[in-house]
Amino acid sequence: MPDLSISTIVAFMAYVAIVLSIGFYAYFRTKNATDYFLGGRDLSPSVSAISAGASDMSGWVLLGLPGYAYLAGLEAAWISIGLVIGVAANWLLMAKRLRIYSALLGDAVTLPTYLQRRFTDKTPWLKSIASVSILLFFLFYVGSGLIAGGKLFNEVFGFDYHMAVIVSVVLILFYTLFGGFLAVSWTDVFQGLLMLLALACVPILVISQTGGVDQFIAQINQQNSQLLNLFTDVEGNVLGWMMIVSTMGWGLGYFGQPHILARFMAIRSASETEQAATIGVVWALSCYLLAILVGLSGIAYLPEVLPDSEKVFIALTSLIFHPLIAGILLAAILAAIMSTVDSQLLVCSSSLAEDLYPLVTKKDVSAEKRLQIGRIAVVVLAMMATVLAMEPDNKVLDVVSYAWAGLGASLGPAILVSLYWRRMTARGALAGVLIGGVTVMIWSRAEGGIFDLYALVPGFVLSLVAIVTVSLMDKRGLDSSTEQSFKDMHQQVIASK
């Protein structure tokens, strides 16, 4: 075990105490299933925006993305560009309509329920397959967060990796299990601010200690002048269209991320989504830019090449800060992990309790029963993700990329089109969910040639094609009540402007 400063341990314990206290307080504010899964639809614009950003920016923003920049330089910026565009498009195209539509459709608190009610679908297929897609891909996503937690506790405290994963999941379970969406959203704001502080402090101090911006750039160029070229790789080769499309294509994933879309559904008023959008875009731009700078700081400052590039933030923090400050900043990694995993566990549990359980039992379930089932589901799903995280050699960014693509391609096009196209049908939505998810699973296993393109891009495009084609071919079309419901919801959108 490494020699630990008491200050570092105290800083870590203080962070954990604050997070658990928020969860304990939120427990007394959680009275029913709507409170537990959507916080009573009463989030302010700032809380909605920051918690959406924090739940998006898991451990990969402090580990995976800086690690990519540490290895590849500004090549990593293409992911950030795509993600910022994705954040802006997600808020502007989806937030207001999803808030209005989900509330009007019988207070739908999950995306599968929203889809089922949007098309008045009498069959169980759309709702159940959308739910299974969420559970399948989120297990990998939660697993990636626990891998990041294992790496953190292993590096900082010297814990055995497997024990470190278990410690991470126990901490997350406590406040998610009891406080639900309110605890998750409030802790996400605290954790998001801590993440931003950490991402800002590291490059600022490194630039200062290297003698200013000019010397910082000179140090990087001394290592490899291609690292600061946005259009070439580290060997000087011009980046191909496939690489640029693949990295920028990450932005398409935002349309299908249930833990982010839940914040749109939970904001207290549709009229406040524009204010939240501004906060969310500025937040994302700041965090992604700073994460790239952290990776570049590692190139300029660290005396030796790290065997694991994803530990560049940990290495810099431990090297340049006082132990107390280092403990606070290292806690930001735990914050990034927890702020995403808690949201994902909550989405999975809501999908089980609200969508799959009533379908399987074929009976109405009371709000109290759904709340109980949701809490049990959180524990079960956390245990399953823990098993997936027990392989320490997995890269956080690799696991995240698969889950992100699966959710973005299966749910994203269906949700997006359903908010705008009146002619879309339940069969079209089902085709989109299936084609998008299956494409990602098959594409991700192939290698070489066109299959080097990030699976999200073809998955998203093929899902859109399936939705439009099947909807137009669906002779059943929409019944009059579904068409009238869509018109009524559209009028609400107009009235909210």
> Do 110 and 351 meet the contact criterion of CB atoms below 8 Å apart?
yes
Spatial contact of 495 and 110, defined as CB atoms under 8 Å apart? no
Q: Which amino acid appears at position 65 of this protein?
A: L
pTM of the predicted model as reported, rounded to 2 decimal places: 0.82
* CA–CA dist 401, 444 (Å, integer): 10
**What fold, for 6-397?**
Sodium/glucose cotransporter (1.20.1730)
- Six-digit token string for 141: 């996503």
Contacts of 475 (CB under 8 A, 6+ apart): none
**Nearest CA-CA partner of 5 in 311, 266, 323, 248:** 323
For the chain, give the longest Cα–Cα distance: 70
pLDDT score for 365: 63
Among 233, 238, 239, 255, residue whose Cα is nearest residue 85: 255
Per-residue confidence of the chain (497 residues) as pLDDT tens digits? 444 567 777 777 787 777 777 666 666 665 555 555 555 566 778 878 887 777 777 667 888 889 999 999 999 999 899 999 999 999 999 999 999 998 888 878 789 989 999 988 888 899 999 988 988 888 887 887 787 778 777 777 777 888 888 887 887 776 566 555 555 666 677 777 888 888 899 999 999 998 899 999 999 988 888 888 889 888 888 888 888 999 899 999 999 998 888 888 888 888 888 899 999 999 899 999 999 999 999 999 988 888 888 889 888 988 888 887 877 777 777 766 766 776 777 777 777 777 777 776 666 666 667 667 767 777 787 888 888 788 766 666 677 788 899 999 999 999 999 999 988 999 999 999 999 999 999 999 888 889 999 999 999 999 999 999 999 998 776 666 676 777 777 777 777 76
Distance of CA 154 to the CA centre of its chain: 24
Calculate the CA dihedral of residues 246, 298, 162, 340 and round it to 10 degrees: -50
Cα distance between residue 346 and residue 442, in whole Å: 28
The amino acid present at 318, given as its one-letter code, is S
- pLDDT value at residue 1: 40
Q: Domains of the chain: which residue ranges? A: 6-397
What is residue 475's predicted lDDT score, i.e. its pLDDT? 73
Contacts of 377 (CB under 8 A, 6+ apart): 348, 349, 352, 353
127 token code pair: 């709702």
For residue 442, the model assigns a pLDDT of 95
Which residue, 417, 421, 413, 431, is CA-closest to 486?
Answer: 421
Which of 39, 40, 37, 51 is CA-nearest to residue 276? 51
Cα pseudo-dihedral 132, 138, 143, 149, rounded to 10:
-150
Token pair, residue 465, equals 């094609």
Q: Is the dihedral of CA 308, 157, 191, 391 positive or negative?
A: positive
Q: Which pLDDT does position 294 carry in this prediction?
A: 94
